[in-house]
Amino acid sequence: MGDDNGSNPWARRRRFPLVAALFFAILIAGPFPFSPGIADTSRGTAFEGEGRHAGQVAWQGEVVAVLDGDSLKVRHGSETIEIRVYGIDAPEKGQPWGDKARSLAQSLAAGRRVTVHPRVTDTYGRLVAGVTLTDGSDWAGTMLSRGLAWQHLRYSRERELGLLEVEARSQRLGLWSDPLPTPPWVWKHRRHD
């Protein structure tokens, strides 16, 4: 009965995770302006990237392989380019939730045309890029909203991505159904120790 006025301590405890998640979203958004979204980053103009992909505009290609939840190979003309999806870090092969993340990514993109929005070249020589799916949705946003990736805060501060992760966390979707899911960067570090 005390639920309605907030005096019930159990009701307050149930609200805490949602409040904490919203606080986290605001915190990560920080002073960064509201981004136009990964799918629109190139706006049809050359991007100010680094490495061999500098100066490229968005292009389309066919997905020939989905390596995991955040990596794929796309055929562009006669070249096959390995792409690391910008903004997210998905569970790795062999890691809990890794197979589910890869399976979702395959169902979204395998054998389909995508639009690639080049950003930079990573230390492994892969193109880091936003990827727009055939239906116009964003690969990173879809993985986050289904609870099968973390926003990669080291490289991405887009508010939309942070909010999608917070929403998936609050609904306990995908990997967020585990009490303490292990992020890929921690999982990889533990495997090397």
Catalytic residue among 12, 14, 79, 92: 92
Q: Distance between CA 151 and CA 102 in Å, rounded? A: 16
Query: Given 119, 126, 157, 169, which residue is catalytic?
Result: 126
172 is known as an active-site residue: no
Q: What's the alpha-carbon Rg for the chain, to the nearest Å?
A: 18
Euclidean distance between CA atoms 133 and 72, whole angstroms: 13
Q: Is 160 a catalytic residue?
A: no
Residue with tokens 């230390």: 123
Please say if 112 is a catalytic residue: no
The number of beta carbons lying within 10 Å of the beta carbon of residue 164 is 25
Selected catalytic residue, list 13, 62, 82, 84 = 84
Q: Among all residues, which ones are annotated catalytic?
A: 84, 92, 126
